[in-house]
């Protein structure tokens, strides 16, 4: 994508160190496709401002929570992005839960790595929590095995979230263009997701 998408809701991806070498990882692709996005690699940060690298208030940010897409309570019919409470129940007033949101955090890694990031950063629990309810399977298909059948890539989850938060379906499609191109190339070349070889070749 030559021109980054101008997103109003900032995106911060906290990437587990073991995820950064994935051949078909999407965090870098996502950050390069958005005008207002950042990927930071690590296991823990002191607070939101430390992770974001600029002043930021926890009350203005949300996090894509590691809950099941089977949202408790009133989750059915609420759409692909559901604001939830601390016990995973869908909040009654969804518009208010999204109002004034300035930024959204996504945890990038497999299920175990994402859980490690969650538990090592206690400040995440002070953010608004959202659960992505995918409207279909991941575009990865057979190229990457996921722990759960309803799992999608970080890029797909963020694209779906921004579609809801910014009320723009075209935004999601723009973000998926480079991802589809990456996957098409991988299929042509017979590449499956794996770790990159970091050894220096001379």
pLDDT in tens, 48-68: 999 999 999 999 999 998 765
Does the model's pTM come out above 0.75?
Answer: yes
Q: Are 11 and 36 in contact (CB under 8 A)?
A: yes
Model confidence at 79, pLDDT cuts 50, 70, 90, reads confident
What are the two backbone dihedrals, phi and then psi, of residue 52, each rounded to the nearest 5 degrees? -75, -25
Q: Higher-confidence residue: 65 or 46?
A: 46
More confident call, 22 vs 194: 22
C-alpha distances out from residue 114 to 21, 74, 160, 173, 183, Å: 15, 26, 19, 25, 23
Residue ranges of domains in the chain: 10-137+150-189
Helices and strands in the chain, H and E counts: 6, 6
Reported as a single tens digit per residue, the pLDDT across 112-155 is 999 999 999 999 999 999 999 888 887 676 776 665 656 788 99
């Amino acid at each position: 994508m030559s021109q980054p998408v101008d997103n109003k809701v900032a995106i911060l991806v906290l990437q587990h160190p073991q995820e950064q070498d994935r051949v078909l990882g999407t965090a870098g692709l996502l950050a390069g496709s958005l005008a207002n996005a950042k990927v930071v690699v690590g296991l823990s940060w002191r607070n939101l401002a430390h992770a974001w690298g600029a002043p930021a208030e926890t009350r203005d940010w949300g996090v894509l929570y590691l809950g099941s897409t089977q949202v408790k309570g009133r989750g059915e019919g609420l759409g692909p992005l559901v604001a939830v409470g601390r016990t995973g129940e869908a909040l009654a007033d969804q518009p208010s839960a999204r109002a004034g949101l300035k930024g959204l955090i996504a945890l990038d890694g497999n299920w175990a790595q994402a859980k490690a990031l969650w538990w090592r950063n206690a400040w995440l629990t002070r953010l608004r929590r959202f659960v992505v309810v995918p409207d279909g399977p991941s575009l990865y298909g057979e190229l990457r095995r996921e722990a759960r059948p309803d799992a999608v890539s970080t890029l797909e989850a963020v694209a779906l979230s921004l579609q809801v938060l910014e009320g723009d379906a075209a935004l999601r499609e723009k973000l998926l263009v480079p991802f589809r191109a990456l996957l098409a190339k991988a299929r042509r070349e017979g590449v499956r997701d794996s770790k990159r070889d970091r050894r220096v070749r001379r």
